[in-house]
Amino acid sequence: MTDVALIDAGGANLGSVRYALERLGANVQLVRDADGLRDARRVILPGVGAAKPAMQRLHAQGLVEPLRRLQVPLMGICLGMQLLFEHSEEAGVETLGLIPGTVRKLVPAIGIRVPHMGWNRLLPLKPSVLLRDIPARASAYFVHSYAAPLNAHTVAACDHGGLFTAMVEQGRYFGAQFHPERSGDTGALMLRNFLEDTAV
């Protein structure tokens, strides 16, 4: 049985996410269609780029409805996390609708550059299996221009011209706006927690 189904949605971070998972001992299967989800114990949706082409690719691969019907833990990373929400302001696209909310463009200001790129602190807001053993105000690596506002399912925030959702958890759905594969010990701990502590 596959430990992790890693969805190939065209993101440039696919290889580095796979390597980060394999370093933790995960058996990783790249998935490009619904058949690849069949035996997975957990699913990860990475992503870099724009919401509309990413959703178009998921539709073309026949993955949208299977992802909506998944009965195992699903984690979105970066753009993949944004796709878990209902809508994105980016081209006004409907996303997977697994977590309520609309992803919005970050607002530039004096001293606040968009895209948000680089290391920034995580601000834990509520308990989450993803946060186990991660110190308060640990740093993670971000690269993004859109983000989800805080909502009832935000477990960690980040401040870049205002607070946004850095990590989310709702039932079997999880997400990280940052790149765990580029976030050193913080990212490795979060991935380990997803692999070991989420209920299957």
Q: pLDDT by residue (tens digit) across 164-188?
A: 999 999 999 999 999 999 999 999 9
- Looking at domain 4-197, its CATH architecture is 3-Layer(aba) Sandwich (3.40)
State yes or no: is 78 an active-site residue: yes
CA angle 126, 5, 85 (to 5 degrees): 45
Clarify whether 153 is annotated catalytic: no
Domain boundary assignment for the chain: 4-197
| Mean pLDDT score, 125-148 | 95
Catalytic residue among 59, 94, 179, 196: 179
Does the active-site annotation cover 87?
no
Instruction: Specify the pLDDT at position 144.
Output: 97
Q: What pLDDT band is residue 57 in, cutting at 50, 70 and 90?
A: very high
The region of weakest confidence among 40-49, 77-86, 117-126, 159-168 is 40-49
- Catalytic residue, from 78, 116, 153, 160: name it: 78
* Per-residue pLDDT tens digits for 12-43: 678 899 999 999 999 999 999 999 999 899 99
